[in-house]
């Protein structure tokens, strides 16, 4: 959508410093596709797109030219209420996602809507997460793990989901980082299960180290658990 592209150019920081900062932290993206638009401005633009008559046309326009267009796309997709429509939009977008930032921006509200999930979040979301975690694409697989972390550590949680995440490890750094993040988040509400998963022989040593570090750094993990993690790290 030309008007979205024009708005991105208008919203970009002048001078290029923010674009250069983004290029450093989102290293898998071609820097020439970055304009340097800050996230609050992208969210505001996404609200413009949602309210416009061009919403569906924008979501259908893939691939995009600019990195920031993908972020706006993610924010617009997140606002979709219907579960089936959300899944279709995700399946269309995920093959084009080539970085952790756009991947992690995807947090669809339909996945939190009890009416759409019919009171059974695991029954709906686990099969979807498993399908995405089986993908050969790094960021589709990462997104599948993020669904377990964001949507199923509360209602719908089952200890077997930790094993599904560990089994999603394909050796890719950005997949392993998401698995470690998920294991560390699980420490907060499911400490015993998460500790067992981190210590498991099925968990890659790199993932274990990452999860331990994230758990130790977390402000939400208690001191006793952090000390147990330090002991695990020393034994390793």
142, two tokens? 């990462």
Contacts of residue 23, Cβ cutoff 8 Å, sequence gap at least 6:
29, 31, 34
Output the pLDDT for position 84: 96
Query: What pLDDT is recorded for position 1?
Result: 75
Identify the pLDDT of residue 115. 84
Ranges of the chain whose pLDDT falls below 50: none
pLDDT at residue 199, as a whole number: 97
Instruction: Give the pLDDT score at 236.
Output: 80
Phi, psi angles (nearest 5°) of residue 226: -65, -40
């Amino acid at each position: 959508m030309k008007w979205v592209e024009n708005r991105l150019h208008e919203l970009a920081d002048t001078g290029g410093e923010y674009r250069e900062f983004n290029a450093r932290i989102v290293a898998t993206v071609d820097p020439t596709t970055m304009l340097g638009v800050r996230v609050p401005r992208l969210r505001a633009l996404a609200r413009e797109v949602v309210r416009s008559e061009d919403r569906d046309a924008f979501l259908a326009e893939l691939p995009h030219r600019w990195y920031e267009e993908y972020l706006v796309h993610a924010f617009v997709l997140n606002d979709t209420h219907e579960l089936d429509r959300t899944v279709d939009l995700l399946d269309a977008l995920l093959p084009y996602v080539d970085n952790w930032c756009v991947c992690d921006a995807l947090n669809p509200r339909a996945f939190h809507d009890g009416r759409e999930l019919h009171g059974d979040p695991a029954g709906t979301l686990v099969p979807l997460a498993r399908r995405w975690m089986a993908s050969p694409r790094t960021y589709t697989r990462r997104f599948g793990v993020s669904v377990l972390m964001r949507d199923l550590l509360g209602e719908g949680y089952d200890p077997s989901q930790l094993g599904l995440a560990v089994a999603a490890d394909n050796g890719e750094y950005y997949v392993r980082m998401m698995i470690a993040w998920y294991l560390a988040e699980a420490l907060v509400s499911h400490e015993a299960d998460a500790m067992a998963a981190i210590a498991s022989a099925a968990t890659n040593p790199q993932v274990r180290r990452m999860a331990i570090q994230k758990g130790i750094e977390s402000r939400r993990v208690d001191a006793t658990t952090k000390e147990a993690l330090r002991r695990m790290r020393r034994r390793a």
